[in-house]
Amino acid sequence: MEDNKKIIASCILETLDENVDINDIYNKIEVPKDKKNGDFSYPCFNLAKILKNSPVNIANKIKEKIVLNDAISKVEVVNGFLNFYLNSNNVVENILKNILTKNSEYGKMNIGNGKNIVFDYSSPNIAKPFHLGHFRNTVIGHALYNIYKELGYNTIGINYIGDWGRQFGLLIEGYKLFKDEYDFSNNVLEVLSDIYVRISALAKEDENVMNKARENFKELENGNEEYYKLWKFFREVSLKEYDRIYDILGVKFDSYNGEAFYNDKMDVVIDTLTKKNVLKESRGAKVVEVGDNMPPCIVLKSNGSTIYATRDLAAIIYRAKTYDFEKAIYVTGSEQILHFKQVFEVAKYLVEEKYQKGLVHVPYGLVRLKTGRMSSREGTVIYIKDLINDAINKSKEILINKNKEVEDIELLSKQIGVGALVFNYLKSNKLKDILFDLDETLRFDGETGPYIQYTYVRTKSILEKSGYVESDFENIKLDLLTNSEEIELVKKLGEFENIIKRAAQDFEPSIIAKYLIDISSLFSKFYNNIKVLETNNEDLKKARVALVYSTGIVIKNGLNILGIETPSKM
RNA sequence: GCUCCAGUAGCUCAGUUGGAUAGAGCAACAGCCUUCUAAGCUGUGGGUCGGGCGUUCGAAUCGCUUCUGGGGCACCA
């Protein structure tokens, strides 16, 4: 499609006597929102000044002089816009042949050239159950990971587990005090979370408890064997529980190096900053100034111990050395925007310029409840485990009600239920806060995951009934596809690569989600208006089945990128 | 107080680098299953794009200002 834009730009240029830069023309060419206005459009308004003539006159003159070719079939002038219509036979053939040839590879590009990109995402805090916020993080991070993989990068997923810090001193204290009151044989994570909530409340009231917690953590840092064992226990049971969720979501990480991993790697941060003479004392703490518009970045607390920024900095150094990354992408809540601005500033003293430039923070909005913010202390947290179960049960119920004869109802209801959840958290702009609404989340009609999955299932069903197999699509007469429903769908299918690029550039999975809705909607219109299998014209039927098959490929590849499965039946 | 983000239909949201008549879904109402799966499709109603000023041939989009909501602002992560 981009080639066509170039062709149009040079066609316009040839009609002009004045000296105009081709890039100025190329950059102005746009795709009209309304299909009636052609495939490409060139507004002549800015030429009006240069040529000292009215836009309409200019447009008409260009139109007269323009030479039509294989690609362009028609040019029209409307209100000073030059509207170009492409030869749709060419367009349809090029797009569909491309999809059919590449198949599951359609959408894959080699822009990345195998370079490394590190994705820091999910990153739950040990000893707390996985909640909606983590879920949004995980789902966005995983999609971005896949998007960049699609571009040809070597993507590395890091689960930067929150497994270090004062909270473990507290948890150890809580465990010592309350462990006999609990049953640790199941739901360990909820037990630990409960203990944490209780001990936090206690520490807030009683300074002695907080002091004990601080001591505990210091002991843990110093290698107290008993505490280390406890810490390991907390970490293991938590990861086990998280893995269960990652497994359901199909998420895998290349590294689980959390905060504790960097415990012995922070000296170099302090040393380098000291050597460069940027570490300054301020109110007892050691800080680095990061400009007038931001408060300084604290690197050492006044008691001499490190802080999360120190660990983030150590991680940047480690990741630069280990992965030689082109980009390091951090997916976190938007409340950490300032923190990452500060950390990235300080990183300028620690890593080479090419690594500094690769640091990207991708913030996402809060997930809030109708009643306000989620708070573990107030018990208003939505556990993702429960939500997944709700979604699976709902899809199972629907499958049973519809009396579908399916082989594996467990698998299907999981694919559909989880798909609905994941899609729900990817479909809107990542920076927007989401107001959690259970009914809305468990809605399966309209612009939802199941709608897209359902569309995919329909494509599969037609393909099966048609009796065609892949190899039948070698010699097809694609120029028989001339209905507007067919052409619009094909053109949309042809946008896939561009959509992926845009999603990557903006770090915005919702662009792909929205695109898949568009595809599904166009296919459904086609499906309702044209009965693919009912024609006697075998060539036409085959061409249409090829279109149906291509649609299935794009939906499958697209859902794959978003981390959503494609059921075989529903 | 300073700073970042958001404000589009009753609700949830789209709206590429400024472009042509601001679009979907949900909800409401009216249709479409002896026809490739109705988790679908078609139609109707619904708008001061928070307000104001400006830049421009042209603004939901850019600038200034103001209102509303949310986040952040030093030893939590």
Nucleotide nearest to A416 (CA to C1'): B39
pLDDT beyond 70 at A376: no
Q: What residues does A288 pair with on adjacent strands? A: A279, A297
Nucleotide nearest to A363 (CA to C1'): B5
* pLDDT per position as a tens digit, A255-270: 999 999 998 999 999 9
The Cα–Cα gap between A292 and A192 comes to 42
Percent of chain A with pLDDT over 70: 98
Query: Distances in Å between the alpha carbon of A138 and those of A78, A87, A182, A240, A561?
Result: 48, 43, 30, 16, 13
pLDDT beyond 60 at A1: no
Q: Coil, strand or helix: which one is A9?
A: helix
**pLDDT bracket for residue A356 (50, 70, 90):** very high
**Identity of the residue numbered A390:** D
DSSP characters over A150-211: HTT-EEEEE---B--SHHHHHHHHHHHHHGGGS--SS-HHHHHHHHHHHHHHHHHH-HHHHH
CB atoms within 10 A of CB A264: 9
Nucleotide nearest to A401 (CA to C1'): B39
**pLDDT bracket for residue A382 (50, 70, 90):** confident
CA of A569 to C1' of B18 (A): 45
**Identity of the residue numbered A545:** V
pLDDT at A17: 76
pLDDT beyond 70 at A89: yes
Q: Coil, strand or helix: which one is A1?
A: coil
Q: Where are the domains of chain A?
A: 2-86
**pLDDT bracket for residue A145 (50, 70, 90):** very high
pLDDT at A377: 58
pLDDT at A72: 87
Q: Whose CA is nearest the C1' atom of nucleotide B77?
A: A308
ipTM of the complex in this document:
0.95
pLDDT at A318: 97
Q: Tokens 């983590």, residue?
A: A134
Q: Whose CA is nearest the C1' atom of nucleotide B36?
A: A462
pTM of the model: 0.94
**pLDDT bracket for residue A24 (50, 70, 90):** confident
Please state the CATH superfamily assignment of the domain spanning residues A2-86 in this structure. Answer: Arginyl tRNA synthetase N-terminal domain (3.30.1360.70)
Nucleotide nearest to A517 (CA to C1'): B24
Percent of chain A with pLDDT over 90: 64
Taking alpha carbons only, the member of A482, A560, A489, A486 closest to residue A521 is A489
- pLDDT averaged over chain A? 91
Nucleotide nearest to A123 (CA to C1'): B77
Contact A46, A26 (CB under 8 A): no
- Strand B: list positions under 7 Å from protein Cβ: 3-6, 12-17, 19-21, 24-27, 35-42, 57-58, 70-77
CB-count exposure of residue A487 (10 Å: 0-12, 13-18, 19+): middle
- Reported as half-sphere exposure (CB side, CA atoms, 13 A), residue A549 has a value of 27
CA of A432 to C1' of B58 (A): 30
> CB neighbours of A212 closer than 8 A, spacing ≥ 6?
A169, A173
pLDDT at A150: 97
Tokens for A24, please give them. Answer: 């100025």
Tokens for A556, please give them. Answer: 């499958």
Taking alpha carbons only, the member of A188, A165, A163, A159 closest to residue A175 is A188
* pLDDT per position as a tens digit, A400-457: 888 777 788 999 999 999 999 999 999 999 988 888 888 888 999 999 999 999 999 9
CA of A341 to C1' of B11 (A): 36
* pLDDT per position as a tens digit, A478-536: 999 999 999 999 999 999 999 999 999 999 999 999 999 999 999 999 999 999 999 99
pLDDT at A379: 61
Average pLDDT over residues A174-186: 91
Average pLDDT over residues A379-386: 80
CA of A437 to C1' of B46 (A): 24
Taking alpha carbons only, the member of A219, A204, A226, A206 closest to residue A169 is A219
Top pLDDT among A168 and A368 is at A168
Taking alpha carbons only, the member of A280, A257, A273, A255 closest to residue A313 is A273
The Cα–Cα gap between A341 and A356 comes to 12
